[in-house]
Amino acid sequence: MSLSSSSNRDAPFQPLVLLTGASGYVGGRLLPRLEHEPVRVRCLVRNPDKLRDRAAQSTELAQGDVLDFPSLEKALQGVHTAYYLVHLMSGSKDFEHEDRQAARNFAQAAQKNGVQRIIYLGGLGDDADPKLSPHLRSRHEVGHILRESGIETIEFRAGMVVGAGSLSYQLLKSLTDRLPVMLCPLWLKTPTQPIAVDDVLAYLLAARVLPPGDNQIFEIGGAEVVTYSDLIREYARQKGLRRSLIFVPVLTPYLSGLWLALVTPASFEVGRHLIEGLKNPTVVRDSKALDVFAIRPMDVKEAMRHAMADAID
């Protein structure tokens, strides 16, 4: 690992926060907000060049990899709070194994360095559901491993994050933009509670300043439960597109993945893992987050409006 930027010398007494996943969707949007907080920020990135133009001068860039324990040990030195916003779904054939290993490495390195709090964003879904997808099960397992470190861990569980650039939103956008008539798999009727990216970021920031306490799992979602087909219809309505959805019972998740790969820019492998998760209901069953935080997430219409205003293509 190498640390770049002279950084942080002006504020030696502010707590040091490590952000992982800063080159990704959620982490990339959290970074500028964290840089406005009274903290010193260090990002763990595999390729610092990806971030150099986007990070503030005062932000340290630590080159490292969650699968490389020594790089984590260094990156976590002196860290008070660490954000874990990483998944290995896109780079790995065996993402469950690698995500498990990465979380173990991170937990152990954080423990060794006396980190006080880990904040993790994972996925909604019911652990007791025998049909829970490997992706969602793996997200829950990562939270479990982080908690086992003994470090106070705050896990948020979210469904689809609505915002320009979020993979799941981009999938929805690509499909709806391109197909006037859609033959739809039945999982498009699965209940879900999407959340706007701004609301997710608000939760992630608020978790940093919670008083010290026990491990917590917060299920977070937007103001309403909808289906994926509702999302397609709402996107089309706001875009002024006429779209017909015809439901057919024959598309397996595997074929659905192929179907998406044909019409969307996302990689087939990631799309398939995400789709396997779409057949699981992802709704908030425990509303504790609304008691603990003053955040009142927006509804789907508003979340979509924000995403479209922010469109990246």
Site for ligand NAP, rule CB under 6 A: 20-21, 23-27, 46-47, 50, 65-67, 85-88, 90-91, 121-123, 139, 158, 160-161, 166-168
Give me Rg for the CA atoms of the chain.
19
Closest distance to ligand NAP from the beta carbon of 250 (Å): 27
Q: Are 60 and 4 in contact (CB under 8 A)?
A: yes
> What's at 69, amino acid-wise?
F
Closest distance to ligand NAP from the beta carbon of 179 (Å): 21
What is the number of the residue whose Cβ is closest to ligand NAP?
24
Provide the strand spans (E) within the chain: 3-4, 16-20, 40-45, 60-63, 81-84, 117-123, 152-158, 161-162, 181-185, 191-192, 195-196, 216-220, 226-227, 244-248
Distance CA 266, CA 264 (A): 6
Q: Are 7 and 59 in contact (CB under 8 A)?
A: yes
Residue 126's Cβ-count burial label (10 Å; 0-12, 13-18, 19+) is middle
Closest distance to ligand NAP from the beta carbon of 11 (Å): 25
Distance CA 297, CA 303 (A): 9
CA atoms in the 13 A half-sphere facing the CB of 109: 26
Looking at the Cβ atoms of 14 and 68, the one nearer to ligand NAP is 68
Closest distance to ligand NAP from the beta carbon of 66 (Å): 4
Looking at the Cβ atoms of 23 and 264, the one nearer to ligand NAP is 23
Looking at the Cβ atoms of 164 and 245, the one nearer to ligand NAP is 164
Looking at the Cβ atoms of 22 and 251, the one nearer to ligand NAP is 22
Closest distance to ligand NAP from the beta carbon of 45 (Å): 6
Looking at the Cβ atoms of 66 and 154, the one nearer to ligand NAP is 66
Looking at the Cβ atoms of 20 and 59, the one nearer to ligand NAP is 20
Closest distance to ligand NAP from the beta carbon of 44 (Å): 6
What b/e string do you get for 13-48 counting C-beta neighbours within 10 Å, with b at 16 or more?
Answer: eebbbbbbbbbbbbbbbbbeebbeeebbbbbbbeeb
Looking at the Cβ atoms of 90 and 238, the one nearer to ligand NAP is 90
Closest distance to ligand NAP from the beta carbon of 223 (Å): 17
